[in-house]
Structure 1
Amino acid sequence: MTQRLFLLRHGEVTSHRGDVPVTEKGLQTAEQVGRRLAARADGPIRVISGETRRTRDTAAAVARGAREAGAEVLEDGVAFALRNPDLYLAGVRVDMVSSEAAFAAQIPGFTEADVAKVSFFAEWLTAPDRVGWWVRHPEPPGDDATAVADRIRTFAASLADRDDATAFTVAVTHSPVLRACAVEVTGGDIGEPRWLAGLEAEVSADRSVRLQLLPEAP
């Protein structure tokens, strides 16, 4: 059985400062995606997400829309593989945030001045396109784009272990994850994907994975 995995960016947010909710417009768009998937499905739809509020909100809205359209939906909660890249600062795994204060808050005893002394994070905070700068960086202090793409490919391949009748698995994640995976597909950085856009993976029984960009949200 071939498994199909949709890797989607979360819905619209007003900013990326903190663990913010998805906007009402973003929830409506996610529900529309769920309804469209339900129309294409010939079996249950599995919905999973990363651990942030914006991915969980989006996944719940996709599931809600699919159910309203008559699909059977399996909400399987949070998948660790869908997290943002792992970066390390002072021996601590830190989230990709947008200020020295937000980095320092993740590390006991660390100050904004301490963050500013570390060249990678100082440059990250001044880059016009932070995610694109990370995608191209040869030696980030943690995951590079290749490592993230490998993680997602391994995660996708594991779907071959299932022999149930699930039509689609919808996995809501983040822009850095999608941009890292897209490098493998296109040979370069695609820039910021639209809300609810992303990639589709076809996973064969032999665990081979074929990734392709979605021209628009499914």
Structure 2
Amino acid sequence: MTQRLFLLRHSEVPGHRGDVAVTEAGLQLATDVGRRLGERATGAIRVISGETRRTLETAAAVARGAREAGAEVIEDGVAFALRNPDLYLAGVRVNMVSSEAAFAEQIPGLTEADVAKVTFFNEWLTVPDRVGWWVRHPDPPGDDAAAVATRIRAWAASFADREDAAEFTVAITHSPVLRAVAVDATGSDPGEPAWLAGLEAEIDADRSVRLTLLPAAP
């Protein structure tokens, strides 16, 4: 049996300094996407998210919209595989944030000046397209794009192990994850995905994974 998986970006947030909440417009968009998916589903929809506030809130809104449309929804919690890339600063895993202060506050005793001394993080904060810069970076202090794509492919392939298959699964993740997987699947970086856009994966019983880009939210 072929499994279908939608890998989607979280909905709209006002910025990326820390793990901020999804906006009201973003929650409405996620609910609308869930409703559209629910209207066309003939079986159960599984919804999974990353561990951040913005992915959790998006997933909850998608599930709510699908239920409003009459679909059966299986809320399957958090998948660690959907996390942002693992980057390390002073021996600590840090989230991809947008200021020296936001990096420093993740590590007790580290100052903004300490962050600025580290070439990777100093450059990360100055480039216009930070995620695209990371995707192309040959040696980040942690996961590169190929490592993230390998992680997601292995996680997606494991859906072939399920016997309680939903009609399809919606997985809410982050832009860097989606862009890394897109490069692996297509050979080029498509740029920032729209809110709730991403990729569709088809997973066969032999654990092979076929990925296609979604130009907009499903």
Aligned-partner Cα distance in 1 for 2:188–2:215: 16
Contact 1:43 1:165 in 2 (8 A): no
Is it true that 1:51 corresponds to 2:51 in the alignment?
A: yes
Is it true that 1:2 corresponds to 2:19 in the alignment?
A: no
Give 3-state SS (helix, strand or coil) of 2:202's partner. strand
Is it true that 1:211 corresponds to 2:211 in the alignment?
A: yes
What percentage of aligned pairs have identical amino acids?
81
Aligned residues: 218
Contact 2:84 2:174 in 1 (8 A): yes
Deviation at 1:186, TM superposition (A): 2.2
Q: Give the corresponding residue for 2:107.
A: 107
Superposition pairs of residues 29-48 of structure 1, within 5 angstroms: 29-48=29-48
Which string of whole-angstrom CA distances, capped at 9 and with x for unpartnered residues, describes residues 181-211 of structure 1?
A: 0102221111110000000000001100001
Deviation at 1:161, TM superposition (A): 0.5
Unaligned 5+ segments in structure 1 are none
Residue identity opposite 2:113 in structure 1: A
Aligned-partner Cα distance in 1 for 2:215–2:161: 28
Give 3-state SS (helix, strand or coil) of 2:125's partner. helix
Aligned-partner Cα distance in 2 for 1:53–1:72: 24
Deviation at 1:40, TM superposition (A): 2.4
Contact 2:48 2:59 in 1 (8 A): yes
Which string of whole-angstrom CA distances, capped at 9 and with x for unpartnered residues, describes residues 104-132 of structure 1?
A: 11112111111111100000010111001
Instruction: Provide the aligned C-alpha RMSD in A.
Output: 0.9
Of 173-182 and 35-44, the range deviating more from structure 2: 35-44
Residue identity opposite 1:186 in structure 2: T
Superposition pairs of residues 165-204 of structure 1, within 5 angstroms: 165-204=165-204
Please, what TM-score do these two structures have when normalized by structure 2? Answer: 0.98
Aligned-partner Cα distance in 1 for 2:90–2:51: 23
Unaligned 5+ segments in structure 2 are none
